[in-house]
Amino acid sequence: MPIPLPNPSVVALAYDGLCAFEFGIVAEIFGLARPEMGPDWYRFQVCAERPGRLTTNAGLAVEVTAGLEALEAAGTIVVPGWQTQDPHPSPALRDALLAAHARGARLVTICSGAFLLAATGLLDGRRATTHWRYADALQTAFPSTIVDANVLYVEDGTLSTSAGSAAGIDLLLHLVRQDFGAAAANSVARRLVVAAHRSGGQAQFIERPVPLAPRSRLADVLDQIRSEPAHGWTIATMAERAIMSPRTFVRRFHDAVGCTPGAWLIAQRVEAARTLLETTQLSIEQVAQASGLGSAANLRQHFAAHVGIPPNLYRKQFQRRVA
């Protein structure tokens, strides 16, 4: 059973003009009742600097009763979008966010929410992302922030930023996975009917996404690779399964997925290794072989590059989450 989080309180920051979709993502993942997750699941609350009736960008209204004092006890604070024209917060809001960060709370933004964190100075010298449409504006307004418009989300210590609205789902599922493990994240993703995990480094903008219906040969090949990561996949074998020439396969793969087949294959094998590290007692060498990464040295190299820590440390951190 998962060990309870030290602070399971998640607080969403509401404001007048609230981004409805982004707020809905946060409420769906953290606020929805999930009795199957047990009594130690997240505790969700909404706060605003000026509690009361707030409007959203969709013409809906939200009634908020809690003020900024709710941030004082939050383990995670989520900013579901923010104004981009005049993003600077009031002194009270700025101080509340800075105090939360200073005591170790996790600050998370979706889409334009990065403007608020940047305006507090917390993103100075740090890498962050936002929707590609706002990336130039964020970089211009806050030149000390290192804006990366080519990724889905960025995690820098206790500060996390995500790209366009749907990328917020990817980031929040990533946090669930960190907090409660792969099985919990997969369960939430299934209920949302979305992919359980997309790497934060995946490209934001994909010109021709892999079609879901009708099924394409390329989509079928991707499913086969995910289910058989240890298979000896090469460009030639992938192309053969897709009934394409290698040259055509590489071109269509990049158009659909946003990266090369080789880079995508390594990322899938790293994800397979993550699951094995979380759910089995296989040795590092056995995990490397079962995930398709071949050797322990190869696993350590690619795992550290994608996840940021070596596999043995990742396993230790996850196993501390298990009773």
| Catalytic residue numbers, as ranges | 111
Q: Is 25 helix (H, G, I), strand (E, B) or coil?
A: helix
Q: What are the strands, taking DSSP E only, across the chain?
A: 9-14, 43-48, 52-55, 61-64, 76-80, 106-110, 127-128, 146-147, 153-156, 159-162
Judge contact between 2 and 180, C-beta under 8 A.
yes
Of residues 322, 277, 278, the one with CA closest to residue 300: 277
- Report the sign of the C-alpha dihedral through residues 143, 149, 150, 154, in that order: positive
Crossing angle of helices 261-279 and 311-319, in 10° steps, is 40
Crossing angle of helices 284-291 and 261-279, in 10° steps, is 140
